[in-house]
Amino acid sequence: MIDRLIEQIKVKQNPTVVGLDPTLEMIPDFLKEKCFKKWGKTPKAVGKMFYKFNKEIIDYSYDLIPAVKPQIAMYERYGIEGLKSYIKTIKYAKKKNLLVIGDIKRGDIFSTAEAYSAHINGTNIEGEIFDLWKEDAVTLNPYMGYDAIEPFMDACKNKDKGLFILVKTSNKSGEELQDLIVNGKPIYDYTADLVKNWGRSLIGKYGYSNIGAVVGATYKEQGEELRERMPQTFFLVPGYGAQGATANDISGYFDERGLGAIVNSSRGIIAAYKKQGDRDKDFAKASREAVIMMRDDLKNVIKL
Amino acid sequence: MIDRLIEQIKVKQNPTVVGLDPTLEMIPDFLKEKCFKKWGKTPKAVGKMFYKFNKEIIDYSYDLIPAVKPQIAMYERYGIEGLKSYIKTIKYAKKKNLLVIGDIKRGDIFSTAEAYSAHINGTNIEGEIFDLWKEDAVTLNPYMGYDAIEPFMDACKNKDKGLFILVKTSNKSGEELQDLIVNGKPIYDYTADLVKNWGRSLIGKYGYSNIGAVVGATYKEQGEELRERMPQTFFLVPGYGAQGATANDISGYFDERGLGAIVNSSRGIIAAYKKQGDRDKDFAKASREAVIMMRDDLKNVIKL
């Protein structure tokens, strides 16, 4: 995964990942009304409109970005119909040669993690493998330790898949546990060391591992320290834009080649049209402009 | 949720929760073959057989137990068809007056947790609430702090729903983060204090909160310390049976009324027939016997 991701970052000259995290409030009225008219005010209608919304955003940005990151919760909220839309979105993104990072943040004991690992391992039914979820990489939660990670490792070794494991999240209350100090260092440093070790044997040709870390953009100093602490770990960085962080905050997350991090923006891109008055019909065009602005903003601080 | 759960525990005289965590290997051959014949070797066939399997186990145990706990990963593994089976299982369990604890262990930042909270909050589409997932309570992961919990609180306050938040898990590698020592106390004690505080305003008539904790059966001493540390927090206890813990290990998790914990067993109950030679067709009967044995085993150490 990681080599493919880096190659796409180089080709597109852009370390931006678009967070495909739609909410009903983000859907332009004309699209909402069309779908409600056809399918009623139902989860099915929402699933359909989310897919149409995502598809158009992908059409308007796939040539500019290396990857998308759908947040599964936004779809799970609408039950089966929502999750169908999640999978359809992934299929379409892959058709457009985008890498897909499924933001699922699962984490559980071994036998359960093994079941969740179907997201990247596929599902074995009597010897036949079904690729039902189709993500290239997923995010995971480390609270349960290596148990929660191990079943995913096979796909990272043998199927060119990858992981991004929560280390230092972008939200304020993440501090409640992650910033507790143990023997002079914070918990997130312990998590960082675990993630580094788990990924040690999976380093690709650019010096980065298939096992990455989630490191929030909103904690500049901690992010820079983590960059030094785990030099072979690629970062997935949430928190840029709508959550308040700027390109300057994260310049230290990259190496001298401009590699080392992929920066997520969700609302800031997919709901960009909302900040521009009456641009409902142009929502995807507005998202393209937001992608270009973000790319250029990041390229001011990194060399790619 | 918690008062309803306790009342059911008292009526059934049993603090056992049956973990409905089927795997393909657990399904009796006759049922597997029937479903594969009808729907091919497909995720749909697996979804159908899981539901039939669960339904029969529920039919044979609903009069003995207060609750079931389906592990969503076991269904998510089979994609959309698996998740349909998860929801169908929940519907059926509720029809039989069982409480349903959805073992989902989600955990994310506020806006995402808000989406996940549909599991117990329902899903609002233009003012109409759809109850798509139907759980009475869900498990959550606290690594991101209160952000990950807050959106679920409304349902715990106003819709008689509940939570069980990971504090000390039953697996060995859970120690990697949970047992790190901060100022003389382990991380899981910090998590315990957070959970206790989050639940303080939601105490029901038996003195327990709608916000419970997951505390593994496999760490006897720690579990007993946690019982003292959080006297108003109900425990969901995994690790009994197949994971190695006995009734004696968890006797200290209960109060003098025999309340304070609900003990999960999955494989030990739903796959009980596998230990008994040629009892394929009697799998549900075998699970009933296993429930009775577990109930009696627990009642040897607690007074209800």
More confident residue, B243 or B303: B303
**What is the average per-residue pLDDT within B266-289?**
92
| CB A19, CB A269: distance < 8 Å | yes
From B162, B174, B292, B156, select the one nearest B238 (Cα to Cα).
Answer: B174
More confident residue, A19 or B304: A19
Q: Identify the band that residue A174 occupies on the pLDDT scale cut at 50, 70 and 90.
A: confident
From B234, B108, B29, select the one nearest A169 (Cα to Cα).
Answer: B108
Q: Can you name the residues that pair with B17 across neighbouring β-strands?
A: B67, B264
State residue A279's pLDDT score: 82
Q: Does B176 score more than 90 pLDDT?
A: no
Q: Identify the band that residue B87 occupies on the pLDDT scale cut at 50, 70 and 90.
A: very high
Among A146-155, A239-248, B38-47, B278-287, the minimum mean pLDDT is found in A239-248
Is B169 in a helix, a strand, or coil? coil
* Residue of chain A nearest B192, judged by CA positions: A177
Residues of A marked active site are found at: 105
**CB-based contact A105 B106, cutoff 8 Å:** yes
Q: Does A287 score more than 80 pLDDT?
A: yes
Q: Tally DSSP H helices, then E strands, for chain B.
A: 14, 12
Ramachandran assignment for A284, one of left (phi > 0), alpha (psi -120 to 50 degrees), beta (any other): alpha
Q: Does A304 score more than 90 pLDDT?
A: no
**What is the average per-residue pLDDT within B111-127?**
97
Q: How far is Cα A85 from Cα A146, in angstroms, rounded to an integer?
A: 31
Q: Does A93 score more than 90 pLDDT?
A: yes
State residue B43's pLDDT score: 98
Residue B158 near chain A (CB below 8 Å): no
Q: Does B241 score more than 90 pLDDT?
A: no
**What is the average per-residue pLDDT within A165-175?**
88
Please give the structure tokens belonging to residue B301: 């150490």
Residue A40 near chain B (CB below 8 Å): no
Q: How far is Cα B268 from Cα B283, in angstroms, rounded to an integer?
A: 12
Residue B30 near chain A (CB below 8 Å): no
Q: What is the pLDDT of residues B72-84, one digit of tens each?
A: 999 999 999 999 9
State residue B68's pLDDT score: 98
Residue B29 near chain A (CB below 8 Å): no
CA distance A282 to chain B (A): 24
Q: How far is Cα A12 from Cα A5, in angstroms, rounded to an integer?
A: 11
Is B278 in a helix, a strand, or coil? coil
Q: Is the pTM of this model over 0.90?
A: yes
Q: What is the pLDDT of residues A233-270, one digit of tens each?
A: 999 999 898 778 899 999 999 999 999 999 999 999 99
Q: What is the pLDDT of residues A273-285, one digit of tens each?
A: 998 877 899 999 9
State residue B242's pLDDT score: 73
**CB-based contact A144 B172, cutoff 8 Å:** no
Residue B194 near chain A (CB below 8 Å): yes
More confident residue, B234 or A239: B234
State residue A267's pLDDT score: 94
Select from A36, A46, A78, A143 the residue whose CB has the most chain B CBs within 10 Å, as the one to mutate to test that interface.
A143
**What is the average per-residue pLDDT within A50-68?**
98
| CB A148, CB A108: distance < 8 Å | yes
> Percent of chain B beyond pLDDT 70?
100
Q: How far is Cα A99 from Cα A93, in angstroms, rounded to an integer?
A: 7
State residue A245's pLDDT score: 86
Q: Identify the band that residue A144 occupies on the pLDDT scale cut at 50, 70 and 90.
A: confident
Q: Does B218 score more than 80 pLDDT?
A: yes
State residue A289's pLDDT score: 97
**What is the average per-residue pLDDT within A213-230?**
94
Q: What is the pLDDT of residues B28-37, one digit of tens each?
A: 999 999 999 9
Q: Which residue of B23, B118, B143 is in closest CB contact with A77?
A: B118
Crossing angle of helices A43-61/A283-299, nearest 10°? Answer: 50
Residue with tokens 């609903």: B62
Residue B11 near chain A (CB below 8 Å): no
Select from A83, A86, A130, A177 the residue whose CB has the most chain B CBs within 10 Å, as the one to mutate to test that interface.
A177
**CB-based contact B80 A132, cutoff 8 Å:** yes
